[in-house]
Amino acid sequence: MVSKKHPINAGYRRSSVTSPYGLTRETQRALTRMIAAARAKGVRIVVRSGYRSYAQQKQILASKIREYGSESLARRYNAAPGRSEHQTGLAVDLWDGVTWGVGVRNTKTGKWLWANAWRYGFILRYPNGKEKITGYAFEPWHYRYIGARAKDFGANSNQTLEEYLGLA
């Protein structure tokens, strides 16, 4: 569990890293299967972001604070270093290669992911309306690999990982 309330330190190292996205081997295998299944249904899934180092996450947050002109606004969507699941190699940002932002939810890709990602071990990590629990605004592009436990979430789930683990 990595979140605003459950950080990791700068020395944390993920295990069994793969290319090209820096994910753990298990996460990459599941992602490859999910992308192939989506493609077979005519759905295009593109990885926008995978692993990020502590330094990279720090740089991203600083850039977003400048872009938004507000630290509190930037932190609604962007984690501080040590508080990003991307640092674990278990999280990916997915889209169709065209529509980014909250609009992802209305794309063929976004709808397919929400209905099917659990079959491949992924959950929508920051569901709509759960910002008080997760600490982050709705991100229909951010998926976290949790393996076989994703079956407990099922299709179109708004359950958070915090709720599932009894941390909410």
Q: Which residues are catalytic?
A: 139
Neighbours of 19 (CB within 10 A): 8
% helix / strand / coil in the chain, to the nearest 5? 45, 15, 40
Tell me the Cα Rg of the chain: 15
Question: What is d(CA 4, CA 138) in angstroms, rounded to the nearest whole number?
Answer: 15
